[in-house]
Amino acid sequence: MRSFTVMALGITALVSTGARDGRAAIFTMDETTIAAFGTVNQNNVPPGNGALSCAPTATMNSFTFLQNAYPTVYGLDGGGAPVLQGGQGSWQAAAALLAGPLYMATSATTGTTEGNWVNGKVNYLTTYAPGTTTFAGMDSDATVNRPVWDQNANPTVNFLLQQLQTGEDVELGIDPTGNGIGHVMTLTGLTWNDANNNGLFDAGDTLTLNTIDPANPGVNTPLTLNPGNAMSITGANYNTYLLTGALAESPVPEPTTVSLALLGGAAIAFFRNRHTKV
């Protein structure tokens, strides 16, 4: 990322430590505005009525950010369409291609397996933009043929900040407590209030994730992340869900890093198995 210096869409960061006057430190990191991301609705993405198509849809809404933010990397195909549309006439059609048997193999009855989510996105980018993209991930769910870059652990606050800081797009995997099928959303930013200035995400702190929900795209869906033995979520329809996965990608070389004081401690990991995403 050190030699990649031009971005069509800027990434903003605000850091206020409050260390000298006793006020809480506030960390904010946002990737431009929600308008930079895609707004495809999963209900319009096959198979079936799209109710189980969250993984390919959230991922394609994330790819739209890559296309908009790095036009000199991804550019246009021979027909003048965005490269990451994969030769399709729209981002919705591209999401349907990503959901299809060549990539994520999303099922109309069981959703997208963890392995197909991870490897399907890599295969898609390798096909339509070979040699352009680097990947990172923290994902506590078992996968088949897990890539070496996908750490077998729950995402930490540090990891999320670093990915936003370096201009990567990020998809989040969340799971309900107990039994149930998980969901995938697109991360656009976060704000963290370190109430006691200890550099750790702990009791008394507040942290808001700004996201695009593929079931309700086009608007910001704020989610509160809660510290503890499991990082649980409050907000929208996802109260008591757990943050269990985060996958990120950005151009090679990576964009110039925005200066930001990173968190001193990692959020506590919580391990579960997740098999499908809708």
Which of 95-99, 135-139, 250-254 has the least mean pLDDT? 250-254
Distance CA(66)–CA(144), nearest Å, equals 26
pLDDT at position 109: 93
For residue range 30-61, what is the model confidence (pLDDT) as tens digits?
Answer: 866 778 999 999 999 999 999 999 999 999 99
Which of 278, 260, 250, 189 lies closest to 225, judged by CA?
189
The mean pLDDT value of the chain amounts to 83
**CA–CA gap between residue 46 and residue 57 (Å, rounded):** 10
Element (H, E) at 65: helix 54-69
In sequence order, the β-bridge partners of residue 64 are none
Q: Give pLDDT, residue 32.
A: 62
The pTM for the full model equals 0.84
In 70-165, which residue ranges form alpha helices assigned H by DSSP?
Answer: 71-74, 91-99, 114-128, 157-165
Going by pLDDT thresholds of 50, 70 and 90, the confidence category of residue 255 is: low
The structure tokens listed for 214 are 């593929």
Q: What is the pLDDT of residues 81-117, one digit of tens each?
A: 999 999 999 999 999 999 999 999 999 999 999 999 9
CB atoms within 10 A of CB 100: 15
Query: 4: exposed, middle or buried (C-beta count within 10 Å: 0-12, 13-18, 19+)?
Result: middle
Task: Please give the residue that has the higher pLDDT: either 185 or 3.
Answer: 185
Percent of the chain with pLDDT over 90: 63
